[in-house]
Amino acid sequence: MTFYKLLTYPTCTVIPMSFTREALGSSMASWNPFRRLFACYDDVDGEEKEKEGKMTAGSLADRAVSSSKPKFLKLPKFFKKNNVQNNDIKCKEIPLTFKQNLNEKRFLVAAKQLINREERLFSVKQDGVGSNKSRVEEEEDDEERLRKDSEDLFKAVWYTVENTFEVQTEKEKEALKQAVLVIQQEDEQDRRWQGVGEKQRPLWRPRCCRKTHGSLLQNMVERRMDEAMPDSSVGIQSSIQKEIIGKGKRLKEDLLHVAKHVRCCYPEDNVCQLYATLYHQAFSTKLREIADFGLSDEDCEHVLQWVNIHYPSILENNEFTGFITYKELERLLPENTLTSLEEQVLIKKENEVQKWCQNILREEKKDPELRDGCYISNLAIDTIGCIHGALKSTQEILGSCSKPERITHKIKDFLINYQTFLENIIEENQANTDAVLKANLLCIRQFREHITKHQELFPAPIRTECMHLLITIREKIHSYFTKPIHSSLKVKYTKLGTREWLKNSENVCTELLDGLNEHILNFTKLDKTCLKELLSQLHKEVLAEYVRKTMKKKIKLTDEKKQEQAAKALRDNSQKIQALFSEAGSNLDDLREILPKLAEVLTLKDPQFIALEIVKLSRDYPDFSEAHACAWLYLKANLSTSDQKNIKKTFSEFREPDLLDGQDRDQDQEQDPLYSSRNFFSKVLLN
């Protein structure tokens, strides 16, 4: 045994290698005085062979001879001071033993020492040991010690890996990194033994360390998720929600720890994605168990929120960018489970919306509020908020924009009930009917604006049906206000298209407009935009009634002079009617062209030009029918029967098909037909 064994671990002070027992024996007369000294260190004899790995710890700079006094144990003074210097003594760096490397968590160096021993041992076995019994026994002892040392090493390695979530300091990170490098080194050693016969290779090869590592991480993750404490936040009553939140928090905290402290210990692997996959599997398993158990509506909604909102936001956190790819993970829940949960949420939302809308209609029977001189109702705002809120929240919960569209069907159902409600209000004609209807004209406009602005929320068929319902409801309310006006002006309307009108059209028109103006002045306490819409509707109805009366075949214009006189009356009356309604607030400027175009037909003499003008009218106003054409041609009494037939034939041939007319009407309705003059002649009812 060399004298350097006297040194205590881990100081490893460098001493002269030539200072051995033999050297002492040759220079001193007796060895006995030193036996007691070496007896103190006999327990280190067993480690003599472990230097054979030739692995060293630290750099040469770390192992340089210290200028300070070596730290020997306090021993009796056996020697006298030797004043003679030996300049031939050389210094050598002392390698650490396997045990020392293991204790210092130098796992990679320790593992390399074992691999060197493994390769030497099995190279000897392959060479054969003959019949030398002592050599066989020595080989068996070496193999047993190697197996035992390997167990000690991997016990320390797996213990270090198991403590991954305790890693904080640089020393702990280095230990984990050493453990990971050992696993990689062992994988490489397994590959080196591939192709070697089972009897010629070690019993522990292949070790399959990477597989063991994966299983260990999986068990760690599952255990940590099982041990996650339920969330204790105030306000959460459901035990299921508390459990899910608790596990979600554990998942987030652990993945953040991996990204911050563990990632650097796996330089060659994307350990963040590995842990994300393991936590994903564990979280998915728990959610499936919960979903299969049967959930209340609130818990069902909470599960879907985690699937589609909270969980993706955790894994798509900026701190995981470049380390975790969420899209590579499987879905948390299988498709059939998701479909069942989504259906439960949709039914709940539909029932909620229906109940809210019923309550809103029930409240509408009260007198509306008068604000800034206008009657105001919150019905539309409340209903839109209810349906829009339910739709948006359901889209977030389900993670889809298409599936929650069925909730928009509820707005159609609501509008049907709304129409019935307003019809009952009109029929009952209570003292507050005017106020309620004026307030609801504003609601109708708000509904239209919302549907137009958020078309993406409504499937095309639902959007079209809702707009049609709103137009119908608005027309009913407009009719409630305009019908009494037309009734009061009935006598004045009867003078239109008569001989009196032809002789004194200016007075007849002025009388009509004066009566209209009185009624217009009574349109008060209406929202400004709603007032313009009502006036536009009245404008269109008055002009339609004007045209209808002139088509009643009360007079015949037998000569050109009367036809010119009638045409002039039409143009003059058109200007006065347009001026009255424009000043009042009507936005239908296009209506100013209708009477002049009809007047143009009366002034034409050539039947072919008359036919072309009639066809042009049908192109500008698709609702201008053959009945309208015949009624207007009746005024031109100087047309022969054959001319009238030819004009009708030309009109039938060149008039646009009804199909296109229908398409035009649908397009106009999307743009609010109230402001279009193309549908004007649909208001001119000749029967």
User: Each residue of 56-83: pLDDT tens digit?
Assistant: 333 333 333 334 444 434 434 433 444 5
Domain-embedded: residue 223: no
Verify that 2 and 80 share a domain, yes or no. yes
Structurally, how many domains does the chain consist of?
Answer: 5
Place of tokens 């003594």: 89
**Could you tell me the residue range of the domain that residue 434 belongs to?**
345-479
Domain-embedded: residue 214: no
Domain-embedded: residue 221: no
Verify that 90 and 104 share a domain, yes or no. no
Q: How big is the chain by its Cα radius of gyration, in Å?
A: 50
Helix (H, G, I), strand (E, B) or coil at 80: coil
Spatial separation of the C-alpha atoms in residues 375 and 438, rounded to whole Å = 6
Verify that 192 and 254 share a domain, yes or no. no
Separation in Å, CA 348 to CA 297, 344, 354, 391 = 7, 6, 10, 12
Are residues 224 and 241 in contact, defined by beta-carbon separation less than 8 angstroms?
A: no
Residue at which a domain ends, from 479, 510, 527: 479
Spatial separation of the C-alpha atoms in residues 387 and 394, rounded to whole Å = 10
Give the pLDDT score at 154. Answer: 92
Verify that 518 and 608 share a domain, yes or no. yes
Spatial separation of the C-alpha atoms in residues 164 and 157, rounded to whole Å = 11
Domain-embedded: residue 338: no
Give the pLDDT score at 169. Answer: 94
Q: What angle do CA 680, 683, 686 make, to 5 degrees?
A: 120
Spatial separation of the C-alpha atoms in residues 111 and 124, rounded to whole Å = 20
Place of tokens 């009945």: 627
User: Each residue of 315-356: pLDDT tens digit?
Assistant: 998 889 989 999 999 999 999 999 999 999 999 999 999 999
Residue at which a domain ends, from 429, 454, 479: 479
Verify that 553 and 677 share a domain, yes or no. yes
Verify that 461 and 499 share a domain, yes or no. no
pTM score: 0.68
Verify that 600 and 676 share a domain, yes or no. yes
Verify that 307 and 398 share a domain, yes or no. no
Spatial separation of the C-alpha atoms in residues 133 and 648, rounded to whole Å = 129
Place of tokens 């070697």: 196
Q: How many CA atoms lie within 13 A of 20 on its CB side?
A: 5
Domain-embedded: residue 687: no
Verify that 474 and 506 share a domain, yes or no. no
How do 369-371 and 374-376 pair as beta strands? antiparallel
Q: What is the CATH number of the domain that holds 412?
A: 1.10.357.50
Spatial separation of the C-alpha atoms in residues 614 and 604, rounded to whole Å = 11
Query: Maximum Cα–Cα distance for the chain, whole Å?
Result: 164
How many other C-beta atoms can be found within 10 angstroms of the C-beta atom of residue 123? 9
Q: What is the CATH number of the domain that holds 601?
A: 1.10.357
Verify that 576 and 676 share a domain, yes or no. yes
Verify that 435 and 582 share a domain, yes or no. no
Separation in Å, CA 68 to CA 12, 13, 14, 243, 604 = 14, 11, 12, 62, 129
Are residues 445 and 495 in contact, defined by beta-carbon separation less than 8 angstroms?
A: no
Domain-embedded: residue 339: no
Type of residue found at 233: S
Residue at which a domain ends, from 415, 447, 479: 479
Domain-embedded: residue 219: no
Give the pLDDT score at 478. Answer: 97
Verify that 40 and 149 share a domain, yes or no. no
Token reading at 664:
């035009």
Classify residue 519 by burial, with Cβ atoms within 10 Å: 0-12, 13-18, 19+: middle
Q: Would you call the peptide bond into 206 cis, given omega within 30 degrees of 0 as the criterion?
A: yes
Type of residue found at 569: A
Q: Which residues of the chain have pLDDT under 50?
A: 1-82, 84, 131, 658-663, 665-666, 668-669
Closest CA to 291 of 306, 277, 278: 306
